A and B are shown apart, each in its own frame.
Chain A
Amino acid sequence: MNRVYKLTPVSPYDVPGLESWLEDMSRRGLRLKKFRPLFCTFTRDTPQDRRYRVEAHRRALDDDLPRSMIDLYGEFGWEYVCEVNQQLLIFAAEGPDAPELHTDPELQAEPWTRLRRSMTAHCVFEAACFIILLGLMAAAVVKDGPVHSLVVDSGLSALICILCFILALPSEFEDRRLVARIVQQLREGVPLDHRTVYPRRRLTALLSFLCAVAMLVTLVAFQYVLPFLSLDGAQSIDSLTAFTPLSLASVEGSGYVEDHFRVNGVDYANFAAREDRAPLCWEQWRVVQSGAVNGPEDWHRMEIHWYDLAFNSLAVPLIKEEFDASMALDWDIWWTSKVPAGWSAEYYLHDGADFLAVAKRQEGSFQVAAVAAGDKAALVTYTGDGELAEHLDEIVRMVSDA
């Protein structure tokens, strides 16, 4: 069987346009085999006048095709061709003998009315999902900052979903509008036209579809596939090869004793863990070091977040945002005192760094250092008696030598 594929130039809900196009194809010797919203499959046949009619028949996922309808139409010479979106059925009749399907427009309006209702519900549902997604994204942006949300968290995935909605929603509403117009016409007692002018192509629909598919593939890849490729769990800091972390021991100096808390061979007091990959952050590490200086009560801790980003231009905005957020987190961080206090921040110009800053809480012993160079960035949060500002070279080397 010789198959021919044609881009679909009309929406399936543009009933007169679709019927006209299929009839023109038939005159060119192409018999419809399978209708798809983007492209249709035809088989080669002798050119003939074949009439096509589109019927509304919405069915649930587990419903069968309406056999009684197909059989009855078949009795009258209308053969079932295919189904569209589980909402429409396409029938074809060869020759002029088969009677027109509908002689009562108001009765014909009933299945179209049901279809319009379900399409309205679907449009409302999708619009609600879109608004909820926007709300969630806005909440994430407010909580974590726009750059962090976009680069490190699932902000990009949410953005892709939002773009998919933006591409899909207008066509959904347009299809619903077409069906509503059919319902209105039939309710006014005016039979549907079967012949009309239709567009030659529908490139916007094709482009929207391709963009949506590309975005969804990206989304699935980054959201669900790439995390599985990441090394999971904590590992020894010595085995870390991506960069050389600033050492808590070097910041603390003599008297520092490394703490240990081993579970299943992993020391959860001093470890490095690769975090999930993200579309714009191919690699990120979290390094935790902890120990004591003057006995077990004097507990010191350092945590490093290290990022290898997709673009150089992301590093400085990200780390600036993280730096500011770290200072704003004062009340949420368990190892700081609950006494309100200000922060003093120093910004440095340093060879090999695009951005370097250290901040110190005025009360207590909490410090933050942020550094970015090229497409690498790192944030150091530290609780202890040392001074991060005295270790700027080591901090810069985490991103410049990586």
Chain B
Amino acid sequence: MNLALDLLTIVAVSLGALFFLAGTVGLLRFPDTLTRLHALTKADNLGLGLVVLGLLPQVSAPLAALGLIAVWLLAMLSGATVGQLLAGAARPPDPDRAEMPARDAVSSHD
């Protein structure tokens, strides 16, 4: 049982680290702001999520596990919002997109 949990930790944290690496490479190599944002938010959401998932079996108290999950959720919330703001700032103002970001934002949080 313990071995299986340790294996899960190793696999999940390694995968998470891989996502962070890929996200960083994307941030450095992708051609424009929107694609770079895509790379960055992948690292935040999936990378951090996998690292948290991998660390869950290793915590000693259930409260610490809740804390880890809360960190992941808060990082996703702020990452999604900052992604929206940066994308909005990077795009040239466009008259028929005036309503669009609003709907994007709401649906991406559901």
Partners in one complex: no
Tell me the A residues contacting B by CB distance below 8 Å.
Answer: none
